């Protein structure tokens, strides 16, 4: 007999029991029938015919059974099963010589889970669902406020709430509840609740420190708060916000923080998840990657800006950094001991030196010229931003927090610009050169512009874009340069177009920059990934550069001296302290081979893995 026949037989014999098995059969059969019908092209007559099909009749019968069951709600046979079982136990125990069956029944009835089951049965049978509340006092004083008693079980972790005192009334209030802390997780204490008692001690008139002492008496165990709940709770402003810290912050050094223990320290470059911005002054945030469930207090943007202005502890990056200067770097004037064994450097020497490295057009002399220009200009006062700073770096960098979002480059999108940054002599150029050499089909530098005349062997668009001074100035006016400068009477610069050209060709553009150019490359279009090349510890620096040669302001290729190492280290310290918040990756340039491998890995990550990037790159902001 098939399943379907069985079901139909059941329908034809209405007196047979519709047991669980039968019901399952009916439902299985119905599903089967429906599946078949769906696959068939059924016309109207067939649908009508199927209305008297046995499976449909079975289904109707099931429906009717369910309806009957719902209308006759089941009533308990008795509502004192636990009492009955107790009586039974007493009776069995008093039997003089009881049978094995009676002993077994005694054992069964004594089992705690059976007793619990019978008790639950009685509770349901007696519909005894409400808690027993103490009787209401007949006469309640009208002005008495409704209080709530809150018991929290503490296990060494902090309570996760701060308190404040109303100076006029002396009343103690919960100032804020820390996101993810004990009080927050309990859901019973809220900012604005008035604390009346702690562990039975009335707290009105106490100093907040005294209240804390009462709470801290018990490091562990139950703490009982009697509170008058706030009537209108603040709506928590919990929009998801991720920021990168552009300044260091230490609650221990901040006398204005409401509760230093609840504060969270952070360093430049840390990514923070702001979980609560309800308070205008003190936000709550977690440091990513998030290891703790509990948030900490951090100053809001406005408050931190104010603190920075007051310059208490942090020295934010002063954004007068565009190297938009056309001041000519004069010939050497400063005193410096000349090493006779070395070749004195001039631009020509640098350029032929570069040409010796490789015939690659990426390795033109611009970099040396540019670096020399930069080095020399570093000793002079930094120019300030021109009125129309091309990259609005002033506004972007003066904020102590930069909003960031997680971004992963789509394979079809242009590559991110790879920028290398580091103290002069650390090996930025070496690493950049090696990267391009590894795979020139993938990596390429941008062709710079210059106002100087081409040499015999040079071709415009290969070594440089050779342009007139006027055109160069015009490009400066139109903010076309990521950075530019003047060296020995000629202008040099890297334009956005040159970088764009490389990116549009599908290659990865690799560029070395000075810190001053950071704002110019951190833009939506280029999405620069900044790799900082850091010197290794002093001994390793000396060891690895034993046979290497440095090119200084004056000489090409002379062996490294102790002063060079000191200069590199000093410059590294300055760059790190001012700009570390912009580093996406740090490579310690110890063994050259290792550094190259690290660089390839970093470049792959930059292009293929999600990274935190400024939110303004992804969506326009109002700032």
Candidate ranges 38-46, 248-256, 545-553, 597-605; the one touching ligand ATP (CB under 6 A): 545-553
- SS3 at position 262: helix
Which residue is at the shortest CB distance from ligand ATP?
Answer: 427
CB atoms within 10 A of CB 129: 7
Residue closer to ligand ATP (CB basis): 532 or 617: 532
Does the footprint of ligand ATP cover residue 425 (CB under 6 A)?
yes
Q: Is position 613 an interface residue for ligand ATP (rule: CB under 6 A)?
A: no
Is 535 among the residues that bind ligand ATP (CB under 6 A)?
no
Q: Residue 417 interacts with ligand ATP (CB under 6 A)?
A: no
Tell me: does residue 465 bind ligand ATP (CB under 6 A): no
182 CB-contact burial (10 Å; exposed 0-12 / middle 13-18 / buried 19+): buried
CA distances from 287 to 242, 243, 257, 265, 506 (A): 10, 10, 18, 9, 36
> Closer CB to ligand ATP, residue 447 or residue 533?
533
531, 585 in Cβ contact below 8 A? yes
Which one of 18, 212, 214, 592 is in contact with ligand ATP (CB under 6 A)? 592
* By the rule CB under 6 A, 374 interacts with ligand ATP: no
195 or 345: CB nearest ligand ATP = 345
DSSP letters along 136-178, please?
A: PPS---TTPPP-EEEEEEEESS---EEEEE-TTT--EEEEEE-
Least CB distance to ligand ATP at residue 243 (A): 32
Cβ-based neighbours of 328, under 8 Å, separated by 6 or more: 486, 489
Q: How far is the CB of 420 from ligand ATP (least distance, A)?
A: 8
Is residue 561 a contact point for ligand ATP (CB under 6 A)?
no
Minimum Å distance from CB 423 to ligand ATP? 7
Q: Does 188 bind ligand ATP (CB under 6 A)?
A: no
- Dihedral through CA 439, CA 440, CA 445, CA 447, nearest 10? 180
Q: Which is nearer to ligand ATP, 115 or 360 (CB)?
A: 360
550 lies in the binding site for ligand ATP (CB under 6 A): yes
Closest Cα partner for 278 from 312, 239, 304?
239
Cα 344-347-352 angle, rounded to 5 deg:
90
- 494 lies in the binding site for ligand ATP (CB under 6 A): no
Q: Does position 501 bind ligand ATP by CB under 6 A?
A: no
| CB-based contacts of 41, cutoff 8 Å, min separation 6 | none
Q: Which of 399, 494, 589, 598 binds ligand ATP (CB under 6 A)?
A: 589
Is there binding between residue 430 and ligand ATP (CB under 6 A)?
yes
By CB under 6 A, residue 571 contacts ligand ATP: no
How many chain residues touch ligand ATP (CB under 6 A)? Answer: 18
From the list 365, 427, 535, 614, which residue makes contact with ligand ATP (rule: CB under 6 A)?
427
Q: Which of 446, 460, 536 minimizes the C-alpha distance to 494?
A: 446
| Residue length of the chain | 623
Q: Does 574 bind ligand ATP (CB under 6 A)?
A: no
Host H or E run for residue 407:
strand 401-407
Instruction: Pick the stretch among 156-164, 241-249, 308-316, 423-431 that binds ligand ATP (CB under 6 A).
Output: 423-431
Tell me the closest approach of the beta carbon of residue 271 to ligand ATP, in angstroms.
Answer: 28
Contact range with ligand ATP by CB under 6 A, out of 239-247, 289-297, 470-478, 589-597: 589-597
The only residue of 429, 450, 451, 611 in contact with ligand ATP, by rule CB under 6 A? 429
* Closest residue by Cα to residue 124 from 169, 160, 76: 76
* Cα 174 from Cα 234, distance rounded (Å): 12
Of 144-152, 257-265, 425-433, 486-494, which segment contacts ligand ATP by CB under 6 A? 425-433
Residues with Cβ < 8 Å from 512, sequence gap 6 or more?
367, 419, 420, 421, 428, 429, 432
Nearer to ligand ATP, 228 or 548 (CB): 548
Q: Does 377 bind ligand ATP (CB under 6 A)?
A: no
Q: Is 56 in the site for ligand ATP (CB under 6 A)?
A: no
Find tokens 């001690």 and name the residue.
201
Indicate which single residue of 218, 233, 549, 573 sits in contact with ligand ATP (rule: CB under 6 A).
549
Closest CB to ligand ATP among residues 367, 416: 367
Inter-residue contact 215 to 159 (CB < 8 Å): yes
Q: Is 595 in the site for ligand ATP (CB under 6 A)?
A: yes
Within 311-403, where are the H helices?
347-357, 366-379, 393-398
- Min CB(595)–ligand ATP separation in Å: 6
Residue with tokens 């049965």: 121
Output 316 or 445, the one with its CB closest to ligand ATP.
Answer: 445
**Cβ of residue 563: shortest distance to ligand ATP, in angstroms?**
14
Instruction: Compute the CA torsion angle 79, 84, 86, 92 (nearest 10 deg).
Output: -160
| Closest to 14 in 3D by CA, of 51, 65, 52, 49 | 65
Min. distance of Cβ 424 from ligand ATP in angstroms? 4
| Footprint on this chain of ligand ATP (rule: CB under 6 A) | 371, 422, 424-430, 544-545, 548-551, 589, 592, 595
């Amino acid at each position: 007999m098939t399943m379907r026949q069985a079901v139909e037989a059941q329908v034809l014999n209405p007196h047979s029991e519709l047991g669980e098995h039968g019901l399952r059969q009916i439902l299985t059969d119905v599903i089967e029938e429906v599946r078949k019908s769906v696959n068939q092209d059924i016309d109207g007559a067939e649908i009508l015919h199927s209305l008297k099909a046995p499976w449909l009749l079975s289904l109707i019968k099931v429906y009717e059974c369910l309806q009957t069951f719902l209308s006759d709600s089941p009533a308990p046979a008795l509502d004192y099963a636990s009492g009955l079982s107790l009586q039974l136990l007493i009776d069995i125990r008093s039997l003089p010589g009881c049978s094995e069956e009676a002993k077994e029944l005694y054992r069964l009835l004594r089992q705690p889970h059976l007793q619990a089951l019978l008790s639950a049965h009685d509770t349901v049978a007696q519909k005894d669902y409400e808690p027993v509340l103490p009787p209401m006092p007949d006469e309640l004083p009208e002005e008495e406020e409704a209080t709530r008693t809150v018991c929290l079980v503490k296990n060494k972790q902090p309570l996760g709430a701060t308190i404040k005192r109303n100076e006029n009334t002396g009343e103690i209030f919960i100032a804020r509840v820390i996101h993810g802390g004990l009080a927050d997780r309990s859901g019973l204490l809220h900012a604005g609740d008035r604390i009346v008692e702690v562990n039975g001690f009335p707290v009105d008139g106490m100093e907040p420190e005294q209240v804390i002492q009462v709470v801290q008496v018990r490091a562990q165990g139950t703490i009982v708060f009697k509170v008058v709940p706030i009537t209108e709770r603040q709506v928590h402003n919990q929009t998801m916000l991720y920021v990168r810290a552009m300044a260091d912050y230490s609650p221990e050094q901040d006398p204005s923080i409401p509760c230093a223990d609840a504060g969270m320290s952070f360093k430049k470059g840390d990514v923070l998840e702001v979980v609560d911005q309800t308070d205008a002054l003190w936000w709550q945030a977690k440091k990513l990657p998030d290891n703790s469930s509990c948030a900490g207090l951090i100053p809001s943007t406005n408050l931190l800006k104010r603190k920075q202005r007051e310059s208490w502890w942090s020295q934010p990056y002063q954004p007068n950094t565009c190297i938009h200067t056309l001041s000519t770097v004069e010939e050497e004037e400063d005193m410096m001991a000349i090493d006779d064994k070395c070749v004195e450097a001039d631009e020509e020497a640098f350029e032929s030196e570069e040409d010796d490295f490789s015939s690659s057009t990426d390795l033109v002399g611009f970099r040396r010229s540019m670096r020399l220009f930069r080095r020399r200009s570093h000793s002079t006062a930094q120019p300030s931003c021109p009125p129309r700073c091309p990259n609005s770096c002033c506004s972007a960098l003066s904020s102590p927090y930069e909003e960031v979002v997680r971004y992963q480059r789509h394979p079809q999108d242009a590559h991110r610009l790879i920028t290398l940054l580091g103290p002069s002599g650390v090996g930025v150029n070496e690493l950049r050169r090696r990267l391009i050499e590894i795979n020139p089909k993938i990596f390429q530098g941008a062709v710079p512009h210059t106002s100087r005349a081409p040499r015999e062997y040079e071709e415009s668009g290969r070594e440089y874009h050779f342009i007139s001074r006027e055109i160069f100035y015009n490009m400066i006016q139109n903010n076309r340069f990521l950075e530019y400068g003047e060296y020995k009477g000629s202008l040099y610069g890297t334009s956005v177009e040159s970088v764009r050209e490389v990116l549009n060709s599908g290659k990865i553009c690799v560029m070395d920059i000075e810190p001053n150019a950071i704002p110019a490359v951190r833009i939506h279009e280029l999405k620069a990934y900044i790799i900082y090349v850091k010197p290794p510890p002093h001994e390793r620096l000396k060891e690895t550069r034993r046979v290497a040669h440095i090119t200084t302001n004056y000489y090409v290729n002379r062996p490294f001296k102790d002063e060079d190492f000191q200069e590199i280290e000093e410059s590294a310290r300055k760059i790190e302290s001012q700009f570390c918040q912009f580093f996406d990756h740090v490579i310690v340039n110890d063994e050259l081979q290792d550094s190259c491998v690290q660089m390839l890995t970093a470049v792959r990550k930059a292009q293929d893995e999600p990274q935190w990037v400024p939110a303004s790159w992804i969506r326009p902001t109002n700032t």
